[in-house]
Structure 1
């Protein structure tokens, strides 16, 4: 819509909502350090360790991790895909 206004196709953007482009975090989120992650993983029951590692390294939220299924995921090169989405490991 901003492009249409800039190109003078329309006079004003009808989708403009006051304050919609600004948001503030309630608190700053600090990711776990490698040492904290190691402690967390070793203290978790064995069946949840892979979930913690995948979630922390890929930045997944709980709902995204809960959707992962062993039968629907594949691993190609540096990307892991599932029915719900994908994450890149950063290595090529």
Structure 2
């Protein structure tokens, strides 16, 4: 009982753009995360430093990682949507 998709899907003309952008954003986030890990491994006492409103660097950096992941995801979504609209407009003009 294998169910096939109800809608035919075609080739995504923005797939290359999405892949490149996704890899770039992944590298940006990974760099940010690796720095967090390196600080924890090399000098864990630095993470105890109070930064803002009595919160230590570990908490602030951790929250920054979460927020940056959300921001990068929203940026990726918006950029991909804009590229799809642009490519769809170009395809309609060519027809």
State TM-score, norm by structure 1: 0.32
Q: Which one has more relative contact order, counting CA pairs under 8 Å at least 6 apart?
A: 2
Q: Which has the higher helix share?
A: 2
